[in-house]
Amino acid sequence: MSADGDALDEVTPELVQRIEDALADDRRDEVRSLLADMSAAGQADVLEQVSEAQRDALVDILKGDLDPEALTELDEEVLEDVLDQLDSKEIAAAAHELEADDAASILEELPEDERREVLAELPADERADIERALSYPEGSAGRMMQRSLVKVPQSWSVGRVIDYCREAGDLPDDVYDLFVIDRSGRLRGSVPLGRMLRSKRPVQILDIVDPDIPSVPVTADQAEVAHLFRDQNLVSCPVVDDKGRLVGVIMVDDVVDVIDEEAEEDLLKMGGVGIDDMHAGTVRTVRLRGVWLAVNLLTAVIASLVIGQFEDAIEKIVALAVLMPIVASMGGNAGTQTVTVAVRALAMGELTPANALRFIAKEFAVGGLNGILFALLMGGAVVAWYHDWRLGAVIGAAMICNLTAAALAGTLIPIGLQKFGVDPAVSSTVFLTTVTDVIGFLAFLGLATLFLL
């Protein structure tokens, strides 16, 4: 197998089992040897896959062999547990090896007093960088950016820039672009590393600069930054303050993490889970999910009240009780398809006021055509089952009504929520379920009451 293949299969179930067996037998040297040479991502995977007690034992065994980068890869719940096993000196030693933005993301998980203790262990310049990162709002460009970058004055020549890069000892490990600033520190543009290396030494750096590069303010939301990277295929992007002065750079690897976080957050919210509770305790998980279930219970009560208005019809025609869940279920599933597409399009900036009407019209047509198709299928099945063409016509008409309503609700609900400043991923499914249940039961039982009784 290739080296790349080995990396992909680094943490296998068999390896995790070996580590658990070694922990159970207190074979500490074996555990250390299994994890010490593992990548940061591999160590993080192992820490997330073992039980909490085994995780505590692993951290106790590893200590200095734990790759600081592994802390940045951990789930939030697991990170809190790992940090509980480390003292302030050990956390400070890990933060010392990380970029300021990564160190800040770890230290923000600590209580205020413990965070101060950790910061006190760090050199003054590193402490200042981390405190500056923590001063920006969570999820902002200021929190994401790295302060380690190559910035040069606009008056320099290419030769002087090359000499500076060779001699400077504090440059970042990975450099893709050099940033040019004026005397006040304001960003003038960037120069790709390859372009500079192809230029003659006497050429002024300002003559080869790209002045139209995008930049983001320190207060920009991380989702906006992710959109910019995706839309313009950026590898790095400068960050400026309110006066246009260059203060940092965001790299594509940080943006990939943000894209994953945003996608995961929307997925969890649409499923009625506020946060990833994979590693949370049982009681905490019950509490987190219980609120959402209570909201769904309320919507179910509303639907049941609609059904209660047709008790007489259901008593006289038992088939209605058998068939009405089909109508509601079809509407719910069709609506979920539409709302998923709409929420994703809104999150990616693809659904805007400019194309909203076209999107709504398309989804309305899709809902209507699907309604007709499944009305014919279900109507025919009901006629064959109950030998009553009127009942087949009623369920067919109800199917068309509900699938059309589901398409409209699946588009209008998320668009409306976003317009009012509410995250459409959070509440769309609750409102959608209510609409499809109420419309489905009302259409089916209402039509049955009018035409079958």
**Span 112-122, mean pLDDT?**
91
pLDDT of residue 270: 58
pLDDT tens-digit series, residues 401-443: 999 999 999 999 999 988 888 778 767 887 888 888 889 889 9
* Topology classification of domain 3-139: MgtE N-terminal fold (1.25.60)
- Concatenating the DSSP letter of every residue in 372-428 gives HHHHHHHHHHHHHHH--HHHHHHHHHHHHHHHHHHHHHHHHHHHHHHHTT--HHHHH
pTM: 0.64
**Span 320-328, mean pLDDT?**
87
Cα–Cα distance, 40 to 252 (Å, whole number): 19
Amino acid at 10: E
* Tokens matching residue 238: 């400068």
Q: Is residue 277 scored above 80 in pLDDT?
A: no
**Span 160-185, mean pLDDT?**
86
Q: Is residue 366 scored above 90 in pLDDT?
A: yes
**Span 354-360, mean pLDDT?**
91
Please provide the size of the chain in residues. Answer: 453
Domain 282-452 architecture: Orthogonal Bundle (1.10)
Mean pLDDT of the chain: 85
* Alpha carbon distances (Å) from 231 to 29, 216, 224, 228, 334: 49, 14, 11, 5, 30
Amino acid at 236: S
**Span 106-125, mean pLDDT?**
90
Domain 151-251 architecture: Roll (3.10)
pLDDT of residue 265: 65
Q: Where do the domains of the chain lie?
A: 3-139, 151-251, 282-452
**Span 361-382, mean pLDDT?**
93
